[in-house]
Each structure stands twice: as C-alpha cells, then as structure tokens.
Chains A and B, each alone.
Chain A
C-alpha cells in the first residue's frame, strides 16, 4: 500500500537528502502534516518536486506515497520531525495540503488546490488559480491574485484579500477583514466582532453577502454600481452615499432598496455594527451628505 518514492530508493536508503528533487506524476498531491516552521511553496512548469531546507544539522526528507498522495516529512538523525525553513517547488498543477500548529506558510503560482491549516503563524497566498482553503486559529491570512475560489478563516488576526477575481467565503471572529479590488461573483463575508471593509466590483447577477455581529461593515462602491440591496439590522446605523429608492421595510429590521438599475444581489446584515455604503469617489472628500438611518428595536 505504501511505496517510498523512487528518488529515495535510488539513494539506497529510505531518506532523501536535504536538497532533493523527485519526479511526480500528473494527479499527485503533496501532503505535509504536523509541520512546524516556515514553508514556501512555489509552482513551476516541470513535473518534479524540489525540496530544500535551511538547517544547522543534517536533515533528511522522507517521501511516502499512498495512491496519488505523497506525504513528505523532514526528520533529524533520530527520526524526529524537525521544525524547518522549507522551500518547495512543485508542478503548478499539483494539489498541496500543509498543516501544523506553528507554521508560517507562503504559497504562490499554483493552479492546483491548496489547503492550509495552522494554530498560529501567518498564511500568504499569491497568484493561485485553483481552489483554496485556509484556516488559522490566531494567524493572519493575506491573499493576492486568487482566481478560482477561496474559503479563508481566522480567529484573531486579519484576513486581507486584494486583486482577486475568485469567489470568496471569508470568516473571522475578532480579526478584521479587508477586501480591495476584488471582483468575484459570489462573496460571503462574516465576522463576529472584526471590522469588514470591502472595495471592489459587484457584478450583475452576482451574490454578495456580508454579515457581522458587532463589527462595522463598510463597502466602497463605484458610483455607477447596480445592485439590489437588502439590509438586515437589529441595532446600530445604516448610512449610504447613494440615493436610496426604497423597496420598503419587509419587517421591523429588514428593508431593501435598489442602487442604479439593480442587478447584483447585495445583503448586508448586522446585529449591532454600523453598516456604511460609500461611494469610492467620495473617499477623499469630507462631508458627503450621506443618507443616514438609525435602526433600533
């Protein structure tokens, strides 16, 4: 069932050296579990995996294949898992899964699926065109250039996504969520207590849902935006720089209106946070004369 990879076998030992290249097959997936330290993963156009580590003492990599999954470990002489600074180059098509309690991860230029999970440490994602799934208990997540879809979660630190056309599903507890120049068709953004800032494009027919319990929610939109907006608020305030043609209150805490000719479905929900819809072109101006509505119960 398990098969040690060719590169290791050729060396006459189950271990590969500190700077190692192994051949992989289309459809293979790389798995790094319980890894501590920092990992940089970058895609390239060769069908081989190259691993390098910075370490004071001899470190060996062990690759174990199970079906299409290749599990990689970095071990010291006594066969203990070692915290390392690890750099990997992978075929861009390869799926990769990295996890560990204390782990900084940087992943870039991949088209395969990416899964990252840690308790603490920061996660950087750049130029990824596959599905991305990343979660951290207390670290931050920064993403630039996501193009397919991403589910990102953190408890404490910030989630920041820029220049991305991917569909996004983002959640934080107390960390802030910032989106800048995002243009996905399907966005779900939730925070219990962090601030949510969105600056991006709402596409016709797209679905955009923002939920907060007690953080503030601010959207900066193009003045020409077309959207059907539903606001659900229990307490707090709603402000808009846009003229509101109300579709009326549907219940005590819910009302809807249309901006422009409508099209994008925008849902803004807050229990106690403040919701603001801002015009991007008003960003540098003071005193915009926005419409203000206090929602009470």
Chain B
C-alpha cells in the first residue's frame, strides 16, 4: 500500500484556496485507491468516469474538509457516497447499453494483478450488486457494518448477511 504522507493536509489546505498544483498532487497520491474502489464497486466501464467525478466533486467540496480526519479518509468517504448515489443511474445505463456483456472483457488495468488476486477481482465483479458493494466496503475498505448500513440505507444485519453471502460465493468462485 502506498504511504500517504502527512503533507496531504497541507496540500488539502492549499487546494481549498484554489491551488490546482496541490490538488494534482492529492490526485496523484489517491487516485489509485479511488479508482480501485470505483472499479470494484461499480465495474470497469464506469470506473474512470467515476474517478474523475469523485475528484471534481472533491474540488468543489474542499471547503467542507475541516481536517478532523485525514484527507484520504474524507476523500474515500466522499467517493463511496458518490458511487453509491449513482447506483440507480448506472444500473439503468448498463441495462440500456447495447451488448453490455461481460464486464471483465473490458476491464482496464495498467497493472493487472496475477493469479489468485486476478481470480478474486474477476469473482468480485460477478457478485450480485448489493453483496459486492458490502464486500468491498467491509473487506477491502474496512468500514464497519454500522457505517455501511448508513451509507447504503440498509440495516447492519443486512450488511452482515450480504457480506457472508459474498464470501460464500467468492469461495465457490475461487475454488
């Protein structure tokens, strides 16, 4: 995992005052994690657009970043909320797109992971939407069920059972 230095906070302050160079540094530092999140949550065909939208939204909302958490924490939460808020729209657009097909065929990746990791990435993409999103948020992003419940508008219990469902399905895929 990339080390995210404390200069983050200073760059966030500079960016909040309109310094685009500082904002670009923040982008360079965090775009991988945001892209990974978008890729896993929403699928390959939306990941780039979502990543761009997350950073554009972050620029617009930098004024609300108070430095109480790290910039990364703030950014990822913003990213999760934006991606979740697009769920319905993306679902519809995917349905409308002719030949929506298998997402994996079009998965862009500069550094394709090898072996088990690739299998796991591919398997995550095949999970049903709700289970996939809970799995990514809990297992990869590390959010507790209570937070996931709030973000997704479901109960903690539902979050737990979706997580378990995802694990069971992934176990089948991976074996």
Contacts and interface: CB of A to CB of B under 8 A. Distances in A.
A and B touch in the complex (CB under 8 A): yes
B153 A286 contact: yes
Contacts of A216: 89, 92
Give chain B's interface residue range (CB within 8 Å of chain A): under 10
A286 B154 contact: yes
B78 interface: no
Interface string B138-153: 0000000000000011
B153 A284 contact: yes
A285 B153 contact: yes
A61 B89 CA distance: 51
Contacts of B152: 286
**Quick one: which of B89, B92, B154 has the most chain A CB within 10 A?**
B92
B92 A237 contact: yes
* A236, A274, A284, A285, most chain B CB atoms within 10 A: A274
A86 B153 CA distance: 46
Nearest to A218: B88
Contacts of B154: 286
A216 B87 CA distance: 13
A274 B153 contact: no
Contacts of A285: 153
Contacts of B92: 216, 237, 274
Interface residues of A, number: 7
A236 B92 CA distance: 9
Nearest to B130: A286
Interface in B59-115: 89, 92, 96
A274 B92 CA distance: 8
Interface in A209-232: 216
Interface string A57-96: 0000000000000000000000000000000000000000
Nearest to B89: A216
Nearest to B155: A286
Contacts of A237: 92
Contacts of B96: 236
B95 to A, nearest CB: 8
Interface in A239-266: none
Interface string A90-134: 000000000000000000000000000000000000000000000
A66 B92 CA distance: 57
B57 to A, nearest CB: 13
A179 to B, nearest CB: 18
B88 to A, nearest CB: 8
Contacts of A284: 153
B32 to A, nearest CB: 29
Nearest to B95: A237
Contacts of B89: 216
A257 B141 CA distance: 45
Nearest to B96: A236
A20 to B, nearest CB: 33
A274 B89 CA distance: 9
Nearest to A285: B153
A78 to B, nearest CB: 31
A284 B154 CA distance: 9
Contacts of A286: 152-154
Contacts of A274: 92
A216 B96 CA distance: 13
A236 B93 CA distance: 10
Nearest to B154: A286
Nearest to A273: B92
Interface string A264-297: 0000000000100000000011100000000000
- 7 shortest interchain CB distances as A-B pairs: A286-B153, A274-B92, A286-B154, A284-B153, A216-B89, A237-B92, A285-B153
Interface of B: 89, 92, 96, 152-154
10 contacts: A216-B89, A216-B92, A236-B96, A237-B92, A274-B92, A284-B153, A285-B153, A286-B152, A286-B153, A286-B154
Given A216-B89, A236-B96, A285-B153, 7 more contacts: A216-B92, A237-B92, A274-B92, A284-B153, A286-B152, A286-B153, A286-B154
